[in-house]
Amino acid sequence: MKIPLFIFCILAYTSTAHGGWFSKNVSSTLLSTSKEINKSLPVRVDKEKILETTVAIKNVLIFKYKITDDSTFKDPQFNISKYTYYLRNSLGESICKDKNTYELFKRGASYNYIYINQYGQKLLDFTLNEKECSDYLAER
């Protein structure tokens, strides 16, 4: 239940920041979005993930998550591709369907999601952008 609520919060922040997106360039929109989101961070998303920070670099908004218990990743039966697919679809379902975000993506923006373990090592990452969202929306 926390994931949908958290995604709603991100959309609320990004929709507010996108309100004047015709008058702002993409990088300044992402920068203001990042600053606004960071005011509420860190925040626990669910029992294993904490959104620690966001950073806007040019046309990319980076979301850095910490996996607090990476024992699942060490399990020989664990499939990182399936887990990444699940995360991408969960976020894509909300992020790509938001009209303001999709319009921003069409202007060249992208969201990059990085997941690290408690030691700062990258476990996985993926990007949502116009192409990713177009493909995702076409599948639905």
Tell me the pLDDT tens digit for each residue of 77-103.
Answer: 989 999 999 999 889 888 988 888 999
Domain boundaries, the chain: 2-139
- Architecture label for domain 2-139: 2-Layer Sandwich (3.30)
Tokens found for residue 66: 């910490």
CB-count exposure of residue 27 (10 Å: 0-12, 13-18, 19+)? middle
Give me the amino acid identity at 117: N
* Model confidence pTM above 0.95: no
Which tokens sit at 6?
């958290």
Q: Answer yes or no: is pLDDT of 16 > 60.
A: no
